[in-house]
Amino acid sequence: MDISRAEQRVLHLLAQGGRIELIRDERGTIEELACYSRDGWLYTDFSLLMFRKLKNKRAIASKNSRPYRITPRGLELVRSQPDNR
């Protein structure tokens, strides 16, 4: 499955220990979302559309109401880069 460059960037952040946090309203719909690196830096090019694409591809998941993290499927999709630690 082919994924876009923007999706690759987000998966790299998550593979290095990043997280995606959601803020929901009282009805349960997503009000805000943010993608953070492991150092706590906010990734600004992240949108609801990209979140839904990654979730539909099962590249990210949340367990026990915690922030979204990369899944084993997401690790398969991400391409290696020399700057990965």
Token couple for 16: 């290095």
Distance in angstroms (rounded) separating the CA atoms of residues 68 and 66: 7
Question: Could you report the per-residue pLDDT of 40-85, keeping only the tens digit for each?
Answer: 999 999 999 999 999 999 999 999 989 999 999 999 998 766 665 5
Residue 78 pLDDT: 87
Residue 37 pLDDT: 94
- Could you tell me where the beta strands, DSSP code E, fall in 1-85? 19-24, 30-36, 42-43, 60-61, 69-70
Predicted TM-score (pTM) of this structure: 0.85
**Residue ranges per domain, the chain?**
5-74
Torsion over CA of 3, 45, 74 and 25, rounded to 10 degrees?
A: -120
AA letter at 22: L
